[in-house]
Amino acid sequence: MTEIPEHLLKRSKERRAAVSGESADAAAPAGATPATVAASTPAPAAAPAKAAAPAAPPPPKPDPAYIAAAKSRKKVPFWAMATLSLLPIWGFLYVQGLKPEAKTVAGPIGAGQKLFSSCATCHGATGGGGVGRSFQEGALQKTFPHIEDQLNLVYTGSQAYRDAGLDHYGAKAVGHLGFNGNFMPSQHSAGLTEDQILAVVCHERYDLAGADPEDPKWAAEYTKWCSPDSEIYAGLKDGSLTFDNLDSKVTGVEPVGTKARASKDDG
């Protein structure tokens, strides 16, 4: 007798059970082990329970008003700091630009401005006087209506006039020897050259004493002695002229130099 395979018997039983309304397990005889695929397959493991979500942190405290204002304030751009750092330099250059450009004076007057510091000790930086006489308010022009007379005094000093038996220099009415008991020292003996003495005298007459070069009274003197184109000043600088030979080489010039003398204009 041919044996029917177990799986065919099981399938027949399941179909009969389905027709009769019984379960396959009930239709099977007692003690029989149902051969199902599901029984041999292990049940899937249960999914692990999800971990509890962490508690949400409390909301941050609001910033104080002064911190909130600082955070909301607009910040200075980095390039602006570099610009601000240059402001002091810009301010300095601006102030310097407002200053009038120093006027450069050529010729003997310009040279005299630089040399006058040694004379300022007695006569003041602006010619206002002190130990020596004042040049201001027309005093210098009244005392020395001729520039040669002033050159003689500066070159020889007033002591030489007294030694020569003279009681005045320049105009007799105002050029009395000595001032407050002081005598004018010889600037030639002090080391000034003849062109430097002329330069100092031109500065005193036309800067400090205020003689006007365009005034007809002084124009000829200025052109001959103190202008930037003065041939006398140029000759004294290059040595072709000296105070002792001026009157013989330059027309219309009175003697100047080593011998003290009174002016021909005794006032």
Domain residue extents for the chain: 123-249
Residue showing tokens 């007294």: 162
Q: Which residue did the predictor score with more confidence, 244 or 52?
A: 244
Q: What is the pLDDT of residue 234?
A: 96
Q: In the prediction, which pLDDT does 260 show?
A: 44
**pLDDT greater than 50 at residue 266:** no
Q: What is the pTM of this model?
A: 0.60
When comparing pLDDT for 259 and 204, which is higher? 204
Interval 2-23 mean pLDDT: 70
What percent of the chain lies above the pLDDT cut of 70?
A: 76
pLDDT single digits (tens) 97-136: 776 655 667 899 999 999 999 899 889 999 998 888 889 8
C-alpha pair distances (Å), 113 with each of 88, 138, 175, 196, 217: 34, 19, 24, 11, 23
Could you tell me the pLDDT band of residue 84, with boundaries at 50, 70 and 90?
Answer: confident
Which has more confidence, 190 or 75? 190
**Once rounded to an integer, what is the mean pLDDT over residues 29-51?**
52
Give the model confidence (pLDDT) of 198-242 as tens digits: 999 999 999 999 999 999 999 999 999 999 999 999 999 999 999
